[in-house]
Chains A and B, each alone.
Chain A
Amino acid sequence: MKKILVAVLTALLLFGLGQGVGAKTLKLGLDADPVSLDPHVQLSGGMLQYSHWVFDPLVRWSQDMRFEPRLALRWERINDRTMRFFLRKDVTFHSGNPFTAEDVRWTVERLKKSVDFKGLFEPFDEVKVIDDYTLDIITKKPYALLLNMATYIFPMDRKFYSGLDETGQYKDAIVKIGPSFALSHASGTGPFRVTFREQGVRTVFERFADYWDNGSPGNVTKIILTPIKEDATRVAALLSGDVDFISPVPPQDFQRIRRDKKVKLVTFPGGRIITFQLNQKRRPELADPRVRQAIVYAVNNAGIVKKIMKGTATVAAQQSPAGYAGHHPDLAPRYDLKRARELMKEAGLKNGFSATMIAPNNRYVNDEKIAEAVVSMLAKIKIKVNLKTMPKAQYWDEFDAQAADIQMIGWHSDTEDSGNFSEFLVMCPDAKTGYGQYNSGNYCNARIDELTLAAQSETNLARRAEILKEIEKILYDDAAFVPFHWQNHSYGAKKNIQVEPIVNTMNFPYLGDLVIQ
């Protein structure tokens, strides 16, 4: 009896799998699903991933960090405040409406109303429609990152989102809490339409028949996205064949996935820098650059990458990862315990001191383990650290309140540009301008502020890169913060799924171009 049951079960499973391959369905298991169908409701990695599947940006980043034309075919700078974009013709939205320059103007205006996006679009003055397929984007000041920002413009279907819904609310209202039209309806130009959605349970995407990009090799006709929050369950779902593609993969399971013949592991260097900030206001010892340097020398970040991150991160000595304009190639990690002890002695702190430290325990990959490793590393130069870790839900309030002397923060540049790191993490904190909003170290250097602001409006890219590199050098010499690594993105997939060409630094897998063999 049992044998028969087993045979029947196995046959059914095989039959089910066979069907899946024929229809080119991708069963996707991610740690979370999009919080809304409205791309402007929240600025987060997950929402941007979703935007790339259902909408299309004007331009997007390629794997080697160049701009790739999407809805904008080409662009040219008219003057130092204006960029002209020429749009693709014969593009239709999912609703059937044609895509024109008016939709772009409307989308940028909506972005400027979104709480999450309006900060990024602050430098934008207006979008001027020249004709149906030509438009000018004008900024308030000369702005070097205009194209970077164009990767955030995912034109939405203006006609589709106009008017009132049945409850009398405007269809284009951006609602954080509560129902709205855009929360549950979407019309973009992207490769997939959303055909079913139960939040937190399942989202189904089906390929848009009239998608403009005929050159795309992508052959996925249907995506079934299931959020699987538990790391172990997500990996088990891949290994058992219940899903085809997962992300992220926890480092402790890398070996398991590499060993398995049916699946593969793909990693890609990311741009999120993990750092500790040393609060000079709370602890006067940390205002002495020698002490900060001693801490940087005492921290074996290469060892952390090897042992804790299992090699799935890139060791860092600065904010900007390779490929960014400000990446300074000469800055190397400096782990040297002897030098660290000497510096402590020079600073008159041979006997060390004690400090408090906080870190989240569910925000970054292995955040808690990294913090614990740092505690034992600093003990070697007699800095006695009192560590407290907590879930991210509680962490950010503590971080803002500067509840400890040493605080962990990871940062990914929204603009994929070096300037963004300095604006938020190391410029002198100023509540009025918002600069240095996440600078809990209270590092303040007038020269850094001056250079960062200069880089913002320098439109000569070579000169701009020099400025950004100088910033990194100063921060390095000053030991403004303790750098650890840039996290890698990790994906696990069945062997026949060609993940490699569609992943990138931003962690936006371009599923429209995904090929299943």
Chain B
Amino acid sequence: MFAFIIRRLIQAIIVMLVISLVGFSIKNRIGDPVRDLVGERVTPAEREVIRDRLGLNDPFLAQYVRFVSNAARGDLGLSFFHKRPALEVILSKLPATLELVIGATLIIILVSLPVGIYTAIFPRSRLSRFTMGFSTLGVSIPVFLTAIMLIYVFSVELNWLPSYGRGETVDLWGWETGFLTWDGLTHLFLPSISLASITLPLFIRLIRSEMMEVLETEYIKFAWAKGLHARRVWLVHAFKNTLLPVITVFGVQIGIMFAFTILTETVFQWQGMGFMFLEAVERSDISLLVAYLVFVGAMFVVVNTVVDLIYGLVNPTVRISGAS
């Protein structure tokens, strides 16, 4: 077991080194950060002085070694634009993104379950057909278009909901949350819907097809034959078995949703990590970009490593097959 843990940890470190190396090698392609720090009239010579002071003129390897040794001590450098430690900037933007993803997830669960079940039970009803047609349309509309349309309808024309930003937030032990104020919740509505719109149709279809399949199985027929109440057959016997594959897909989709927050956050001016990332690209804030890549990479590596270790504990065959 001990050897297994060590092996997994070494692998994790190698992966982190590769991620940081890739991040580091693209950073010089993104543009010159000094340009964004000075006015347009500053002479090239002056810019060189600043580049020197920032260590941007050092050889690639020297810069990389310096970065890795600092990163090992938890220092990911200073963001050029925010003028604060990059890690601090990223952590301060994390709550916004998580809340957006949580909001979208809640919408997906609350809508896809009843709709999916309904369309499976009554596949020929007019409402089901309409829903299925609509979901096909939903899959094919890009998220920024959905977002702009939502803003146009609900903010500009109807004036029901705010058009941008997070609204009023409350500081909850260092976590800036918008869940606890009415203003924060109204601001969360449109961005969550647009983010949910990407995967919602997928889940409706998935639940529907899984449920229809289950409804055809022998044990459901037996349940009908036994004369069980319809609601019990649908919601208890059939639905439970529908959920298994849905949960697996759900896990994968949450990761994808994080990626899509970049677009949603940009349109809604939502101050999360995705918005920060895109701004950093535009401002060539390369120190923040590299820190972001390493941070996100580290999150995935840690989660995967922990999961692997737990698997190893639970299921010894994983350990053995890994050793051979």
A interface residues with partner B (beta carbon < 8 Å): 6, 9-10, 12-13, 35-36, 42-44, 115-116, 119-120, 175-180, 183, 199-201, 226-230, 232-233, 236-237, 239-242, 362, 391, 393-394, 396-397, 400, 414, 424, 434, 437
Min Cβ gap A237→B in Å is 5
Residues of A within 8 A of B281 (CB): 393
Query: A184: nearest residue on chain B (CB-CB)?
Result: B83
Q: How far is the CB of B6 from chain A (nearest CB, A)?
A: 39
Residues from 50 to 97 in B contacting A, C-beta threshold 8 Å: 50, 54, 78, 80-84
Chain B residue nearest in CB terms to A394: B31
Given contacts A237-B164, A397-B31, contact A13 B159 (CB under 8 A): yes
CA distance A120 to B43 in the complex (A): 12
Interface string of B93-112 (1 = CB under 8 A from A): 00000000000000000000
Which range contains the number of B residues in contact with the other chain? 35 or more
Report the Cα distance A419→B311, complex, angstroms. 73
**Which of B78, B182, B269 has the most chain A CB atoms inside 10 A of its CB?**
B269
- CB distance A391 to B83 under 8 Å? no
A-B contact count (CB 8 A): 126
**Complexed CA–CA distance, A467 and B271 (Å):** 52
Contact assessment for B279 and A229 in the assembled complex, using a CB-CB cutoff below 8 Å: yes
Given contacts A13-B159, A119-B41, A177-B78, contact A183 B83 (CB under 8 A): yes
A203 to B44: give the CA distance in the assembly, Å.
32
The 6 A-B residue pairs with the shortest CB-CB distance, nearest first, are A393-B31, A43-B39, A240-B155, A393-B284, A239-B156, A116-B39
CB distance from B67 to the nearest CB of A (A): 15
A sample of 28 inter-chain contacts (CB < 8 A) reads A10-B159, A13-B160, A36-B83, A42-B38, A116-B41, A116-B42, A119-B41, A119-B42, A176-B38, A176-B50, A177-B37, A177-B78, A179-B84, A180-B83, A200-B82, A200-B271, A228-B164, A229-B266, A230-B267, A232-B148, A233-B267, A233-B269, A236-B148, A236-B156, A242-B155, A242-B163, A393-B32, A393-B282
Other 7 A-B pairs with CB < 8 A, given A228-B269, A240-B155, A391-B31: A43-B38, A176-B38, A176-B50, A229-B269, A232-B151, A236-B163, A393-B282
Per-position binary interface string of chain B over residues 278-311, scored 1 when its CB falls under 8 Å from any chain A CB and 0 otherwise: 0101111000000000000000000000000000
Q: When chains A and B are docked, how far (Å) is the Cα of A237 from the Cα of B152?
A: 10
Q: How far is the CB of A4 from chain B (nearest CB, A)?
A: 13
Given A200-B271, A393-B282, verify A241-B50 contact (CB < 8 Å): no
**Chain B residues, CB < 8 A from A236:** 148, 151-152, 155-156, 163-164
Q: Given the complex of chains A and B, what is the CA–CA distance between A230 and B160 in angstroms?
A: 21
Is B163 within 8 A of A43, CB to CB? Answer: no
Q: Contact string, B126-163, partner A, CB cutoff 8 A, digits 1/0? A: 00000000000000000000001001100110011111
Residues of A within 8 A of B32 (CB): 393, 396-397
Specify which of B41, B80, B84, B162 is in contact with A242 (CB 8 Å cutoff): B162
A230-B163 in contact given A176-B50, A178-B83 (Cβ < 8 Å) = no
Residues in A with CB closer than 8 Å to B24 are none
Bound CA–CA A397/B32 (angstroms): 8
Does B218 have its Cβ within 8 Å of any Cβ on chain A?
A: no
Q: How far is the CA of A36 from the CA of B81 in the complex (A)?
A: 9
Chain B residues, CB < 8 A from A241: 159
Residues from chain B with a CB closer than 8 A to the CB of A176 are 37-38, 50
| Known contacts A44-B39, A200-B271, A393-B35, A12 near B83 by CB under 8 Å | no
Which of A43, A115, A414 neighbours the largest number of chain B CB atoms within 10 Å of its CB? A115
Cβ–Cβ < 8 Å partners of B276 in chain A: 200
**Is there a chain A Cβ closer than 8 Å to B268's Cβ?**
yes
Q: Determine whether the beta carbon of B164 is less than 8 Å from that of A178.
A: no
The contact of A200 among B30, B42, B268, B279, by CB within 8 Å, is B279
